[in-house]
Amino acid sequence: MPPKKLQENADLEEEEFDEDGLVEDVDEDDEGEEEEEEEEEGEQEEEEEEEEEEKAQPWTGLATLPEREDVMSLLEELKAAGKKQLTVLLLGKSSVGKSSLVNSLLNEQLARVMAFKLQADTEITTPFTKQIEAPDTELAGFRIKVIDTCGLEDPEGGDSVNYTALKKIASDIKGQPIDVVLYVDRLDLYRVEPLDQAILRAVRDTFGKGIWKRTALVLTHGNLAQTPPGSDYDSFVTRRIRILRKAMPAGRLLRPALPAVIAENSEACPADKAGKRMLPDSSLWVNELVTTLVDMGLRGKPYKYHPRMTRKPNNSFKWLIPFVAAGQFYLWTKVLKPQLEADYKNMQASDEHIWTVKAEQRRKLGIGPPLKPSKQNAWRLEQMYED
C-alpha cells in the first residue's frame, strides 16, 4: 500500500517538525518561568544584576572620535549626577540605519551593517557595552551601553509588524534601566506609512505608554543633497519631524513632543575643520545627539520594562464587564422582557378573541360552545408546535 506509506512518511516528517517547534516552545516557556520568578524576587536582584553585568569592553573608538572633547564633557555631566552608565535602546524598521548609528556614535565598526538584506537578522538584540578607560579623567569606568535591535517589520512579508521580535526585545531588556530609546527612521521620506503607524502602535502596546517619555527620534540620511522643490532644508526637516511626532500613538491630548535629532552615518558626511560631522545646515549632529542622550539621561528615573506594561487586549476595558452586564440586565428587564410579554399577551388576546367570536356565532346558531382547549392544553400545544 504505497499511498499509506507515503502518508506515514509525511506524518513522520510532520511530527519531527512539530517536535522542533515543541522544543522551542519549551525553551521559551522556561524562560518565561524564570522571568516570573525574577519578578517576584523584587528589585534588589535587579540591582545586583546591574552590578554583575556582562564584561564591558574598553571604548577604543573614543580616542579617535572627532567630537571627543564635547562628548567627554557632556558625559561628565551624567557622571556628576551620579550615573555610572548610559543605556541606549535603538528601535526602528530595518535598513534605516540603526546599526550604522551605533558605529558612528561609538566610532567603531561593531554592528554589522547590511544594506541589502538577503536574510533576516538572526540576532534580535545585540548589546554593545563600552567602558571609558581614561584613567586621567573623572569619567574613568563610565559605561555606555547601546542595544541594537533587528528591524521591527515582519522579515518575510515586510508588510506587517514583527510581534515576535518585539516580544523578544521586551524580554531581553526586562528589568534593565533604559535611559534613552532612540526611534530611528529616515529623514528623506515624505510620508508615514500604515506600517510605520502599526509599528509605533505595537511598540506602544508592548512597552507601554511610558516609553515615549524616554524616546527621541533620530532621522538618518540627514545629508540631503537636494530638498523637494518649494521647501528648504529647515522646513523639510521640520515637516518630517512634525508628521513623525504626530504619528506617535499616545493619545491626542498628551502627545509628547519627542526630541528629534538628525543624523548622517555615511562616510561621506561633511565635516568641519576639526573633523566634526556636520549637517547641511552646518550643525554638528553627533554633538546634538549626545546632548540629547545626556539630557534625557539626566531626566528622572530610567525606563524599566515589566511584562505588566505590555498591553493585553483581553484586559482592556475588563473593568467594564460588571457595568456592561448590569446594563444588559437592565435592557433585558426594561426592553426585551416587556416586549416579549406584550407579544405573548397580544397573541393570547387575539386567540381569545377568535374563541369568543366563535362561541358567539355558535351561540347564535343554537349549538354548543366550541371545543376550546383547556388552559393547560393550550400551552402544551403551543410548546409542541414550538418544538
Partner 1 sequence: MLASYKPGFRHGRNQETRGCLRDSTSSKRLVIKCQRDAGDASTSGQSSVNPSKIDNIKAFKAALLGSGACLSSFIILPNFHTFTSRSGGGDGSGRGFGGGDGGNNGGFSSQQLYEVAADDGDESDGLEDDDDEPSKAEDKGRKEESWRELLTPSDEQEELQGQRTGTNRCVELVIEGWPEVGSLPKLDDLKDMLHIQEGHIFDYQDVVDDRRKLEMQYDEYIASVDIKTEFVDSKTNHQRVIFKFTPYVFSGLEDIQIKGANLMPQKAVESIVKSCLPDHPYRVDIGVMDKVREKIEKWYQDKGLPFCYVGYFDGMDEGILRANVIEAKINDVSVKYEKAVLGPDDTEYDTYAEGKIVPADRIIEASGFKKGEHYHIDDGYDAMNNIYACGLLEDINIEPEQDMTDPSKINIKIKVDEIEAKSMEMDLDWTFQMKNGLPKISRQSLIPGGSVEFSHENLLGDSQSLTVSLSSSDWRNPAQDLGFQMSYTEPFYAPNTTRNLQLFNTRKLSPIFTSPNESEVPPVFVDRLGLKGWTSHCGGQDNKVEHSVMLQRINTCDENGQTVTKGTKVSRGYYADNGPATTLSNTGNDVSLSYQNFSALDNVQFVNGNQLGRRILCQVDQGLNVKVPLPGGKELGFSGGLYNRVTASVTKFMEIPFLPKLTDTKVWVDRKAPYTLVLHARGGNCIGDMASYDYFSLGGPYSVRGYSHGELGACRRFLETAVEARVPLKNHGLPGTAYAFLEYGTDLSSGRALEGNPTEYYRKAGSGMSMGVGMKILGACRFEVARDCNAGKNSFLINWGERF
Give 54 or 387: the residue with its C-beta nearer to partner 1. 387
2 contributes a contact to partner 1 by CB under 8 A: no
Least gap, CB of 211 to partner 1 (angstroms) = 18
Near partner 1 by CB under 8 A: residue from 69, 317, 333, 338 = 317
**Binding of partner 1 by 324 (CB under 8 A):** yes
Distance CA 275, CA 374 (A): 105
The CB density around residue 94, as the number of other CB atoms within 10 Å, is 19
The residues in 346-375 that bind partner 1, with binding defined as CB under 8 A, are 346-347, 358, 362, 365-368, 370-374
Total Cβ atoms within 10 A of residue 383: 9
Q: Write the interaction track for partner 1 spanning residues 235-274; mark x where CB under 8 A is met and - where it is not.
A: ----------------------------------------
Helix (H) or strand (E) holding 382: helix 375-386
> Which residue stretch of 18-26, 140-148, 251-259, 261-269 sits at the interface with partner 1 (rule: CB under 8 A)?
18-26
Whole-number Å distance between alpha carbons of 195 and 159: 7
Contact 280, 223 (CB under 8 A): yes
Contact between 156 and partner 1 per CB under 8 A: yes
| Closer by beta carbon to partner 1, 271 or else 331 | 331
Q: How many residues bind partner 1 (CB under 8 A)?
A: 60
From 103-111, 136-144, 175-183, 334-342, span contacting partner 1 (CB under 8 A)? 334-342
Q: Which residue has the cell 511530527?
A: 15
Q: How far apart are CA 174 and CA 163, in angstroms?
A: 16
Smallest separation (angstroms) from partner 1 to the CB of 149: 17
Nearest-angstrom CA–CA distance, 222 and 236: 11
Residues 189-228 that bind partner 1 (CB under 8 A): 201
Best CA proximity match to 293, nearest among 241, 211, 215, 188: 215
CB nearer to partner 1: give 271 or 326: 326
Cα–Cα dist 345/341, whole Å: 6
- Can residue 378 be called a binding residue for partner 1 (CB under 8 A)? yes
Please, which residue, 189 or 192, has the CB nearer to partner 1?
192
Q: Which stretch binds partner 1 (CB under 8 A): 174-182, 217-225, 300-308, 321-329?
A: 321-329
Q: What is the DSSP letter of 251?
A: -
DSSP secondary structure letter of residue 246: H
For the window 161-190, what string marks contact with partner 1 as x by the rule CB under 8 A? x-xx--------------------------
Interface with partner 1, residue 117, by CB under 8 A: no
Residue pointed to by grid coordinates 354548543? 368
Q: Does 307 bind partner 1 (CB under 8 A)?
A: no
Specify the stretch interacting with partner 1 by CB under 8 A; choose among 20-28, 236-244, 284-292, 299-307.
20-28
Name which position in 41, 193, 344, 363 contacts partner 1 (CB under 8 A): 344
* Of 137, 160, 197, 266, the one binding partner 1 by CB under 8 A: 160
Closest alpha carbon to 94 in 68, 73, 123: 123
b/e burial code for range 182-211 (CB count within 10 A of at least 16 → b): bbbbbbbeeeeeebbebbbebbbbbbbeeb
Residues 279, 64: Cα–Cα separation, whole Å: 20
37 to 56, contacts with partner 1 by CB under 8 A?
Answer: 40
Cα–Cα distance for residue pair 245/258, rounded to 1 Å: 7
Q: Are strands 57-58 and 125-131 parallel, antiparallel or unpaired?
A: parallel
Binding mask of the shown chain, residues 21 to 40, with x at each position contacting partner 1 by CB under 8 A: x--xx----------x---x
CA angle 42, 45, 49 (to 5 degrees): 140
Sign for the pseudo-dihedral over CA of 40, 45, 50, 53: negative
Please give the single-letter amino acid code of residue 76.
E
- Rounded CA-CA distance 322/41 in Å is 34
Binding residue (CB under 8 A) for partner 1 from 48, 69, 343, 360: 343
* Footprint of partner 1 (CB under 8 A): 3, 11, 17-18, 20-21, 24-25, 36, 40, 156-157, 160-161, 163-164, 201, 312-314, 316-318, 320-321, 324-325, 328, 332, 336, 339-341, 343-344, 346-347, 358, 362, 365-368, 370-374, 376-387
